[in-house]
Amino acid sequence: MFYINDTVCISPQNTFSDINIEILKESENNFLKALEPIYDGLPHNALRRMSKSVRIALGASLLLLERNTQTYEGIIIGSGNGSMEETGKFLDQLIEYNEGMLTPGNFVQSSPNAIAGQISLLTKNKNYNITHVHKGLAFENAMLDVAMLLKENPSNHYLMGGVDETSSYHYQLDDQEGWYKNETISNNHLYETGSEGSIAGEGAAMFILSNNKDNSLAKLQSFTTVHTSDKQVVKEKIQQFLSINLPPEEKIDLFISGENGDERLLKYYLSCENLLENEIASVRFKHMSGEYSTASAFALWLACNVLGRKISIPKHCFKNKTSEENYKNILIYNIYKGEQHSLMLVKELD
């Protein structure tokens, strides 16, 4: 479908410049906060006005663009919520000032497209600029947009990312809906709880995508999405996806599962595992990233680093492990809130 030339991620783990995911950073009060770097080159007065989602997206993007200096014909962002923190501040102002003279900053920063807009302004990029806001499939819709753009413009390069922050407002809303654990747990024991809910997370994973295979990390062979809570429909969709995109002589070497410790969603992941061969290695990642709308972007970042940079997957990620570590075909399966499912097939370069 297209090649992933490079990627940078800001997350609750050490994933930014010197990647080290062997040491697991622990959650606090069921929340994994993104580790923000020092933002070299960004004016301090501008940083103060930026929401966290804008800051981490900019931090990841600027490092990525510093390493890759070619022209980019578009900036495409997927974000489930944008900055709910800034939205809450703006709504508080409405009450505090009785709908009078409001400062525009919070309103401007609350818009999900503030992320792509700020990247465009700081890099002086006046090309295609869009944000996809589709809850748990926002990142996948951004990928679909890039795939169509590259089909129309085969020589172009695009900057794409999945970005979300978990503000106190957003946390409270999801917590009231029952998506976070009632008991306080550590991410070290996320998959052992056997209860409903998960832990909150946030992050920004940015990618450079093109049809250019040279010096790329991996190839995104295909992806698909499905809206359903029916396990049988999901199973059939997975079978169809694999039969269409995986040649008979090839097999999945590594399964990256979006398991998040919520027992309500485990049946879907087990259904997918049962379709794969027993000797396939299976890993989980949400004890590193936490749960948020675009967590699948973190999974894609991980797959690219395993295939392209040959980083070792830490022991704390493995659900089951084989002796083989020379992975070539990686299947990523993620679920958001039990109804939004996505599948990605990521391949090593030939």
**For the residues 8-13, what does the mean pLDDT come to?**
98
Query: Mean pLDDT over all residues of the chain?
Result: 91
DSSP state of 264: T
Q: Is 114:54 a contact under the CB 8 Å cutoff? A: yes
Query: What pLDDT, on the 0 to 100 scale, is given for residue 59?
Result: 95
**To which CATH superfamily is domain 2-210 assigned?**
Thiolase/Chalcone synthase (3.40.47.10)
Question: pLDDT band for position 95 (50/70/90)?
Answer: confident
Query: Would you say residue 342 has pLDDT above 60?
Result: yes
Q: What is the pLDDT of residues 281-334, one digit of tens each?
A: 999 999 999 999 999 999 999 999 999 999 999 999 999 887 677 899 999 999
Q: How far is CA 16 from each of CA 7, 61, 193, rounded to the nearest angstrom?
A: 10, 11, 30
Please measure the distance between the N-terminal and C-terminal CA atoms of the chain and give it in whole angstroms: 14
Tell me whether the CATH fold assigned to 2-210 matches the one assigned to 219-347.
yes
For residue 141, with 0-12 CB atoms within 10 Å meaning exposed, 13-18 middle and 19 or more buried, which class applies? middle
Structure tokens belonging to residue 90: 């703006």
pLDDT at 52 over 60: yes
Q: Residues of the chain with pLDDT > 90: what percent?
A: 76
Over 60: is that where the pLDDT of 106 sits?
no
- Give pLDDT tens digits for 179-226: 999 999 999 999 998 899 999 999 999 999 999 999 999 999 999 999
Confidence category of residue 111, pLDDT binned at 50, 70, 90 = low
Strand 254-257, strand 329-336: pairing: parallel
Which pLDDT value is given to residue 110? 60
pLDDT in tens, 184-197: 999 999 999 889 99
Output the pLDDT for position 114: 87
Residue 101 has what pLDDT? 67
The candidate with the shortest Cα–Cα distance to 119, out of 81, 49, 65, is: 65
Half-sphere exposure of 246 (CA within 13 A, CB side): 23
Q: What is the mean pLDDT of residues 128-143?
A: 96
- Rounded to whole angstroms, the Cα distance separating 69 from 230 reads 46
The CA–CA distances, whole Å, from 171 to 36, 52, 189, 205 equal 19, 15, 21, 21
**Residues in CB range of 80: below 8 A, 6 or more apart:** 133, 134, 135, 136, 138, 164, 292, 293, 294, 336
Domain map (residue ranges) of the chain: 2-210, 219-347
d(CA 177, CA 191): 20
Rg (CA), the chain: 20
What is d(CA 339, CA 310) in angstroms, rounded to the nearest whole number?
33
The pLDDT value recorded for residue 147 is 98
Q: Is residue 156 predicted with pLDDT exceeding 80?
A: yes
CA distance to 48, 62, 100, 170, 334, per residue, from 96 (Å): 22, 37, 9, 21, 41
- The residue assigned the tokens 């495409």 is 76
H or E element: which one contains 108? helix 104-110
**CATH code of the domain occupying 219-347:** 3.40.47.10
Buried b (16+ CB within 10 A) or exposed e, 160-184: bbbbbbbbebbbeebeeeebbbeee
Q: Residue range 43-68: average pLDDT?
A: 89
pLDDT at res. 43? 78
- Average pLDDT (157-163) is 97
**By C-alpha distance, which of 60, 52, 335, 46 is closest to 166?**
52
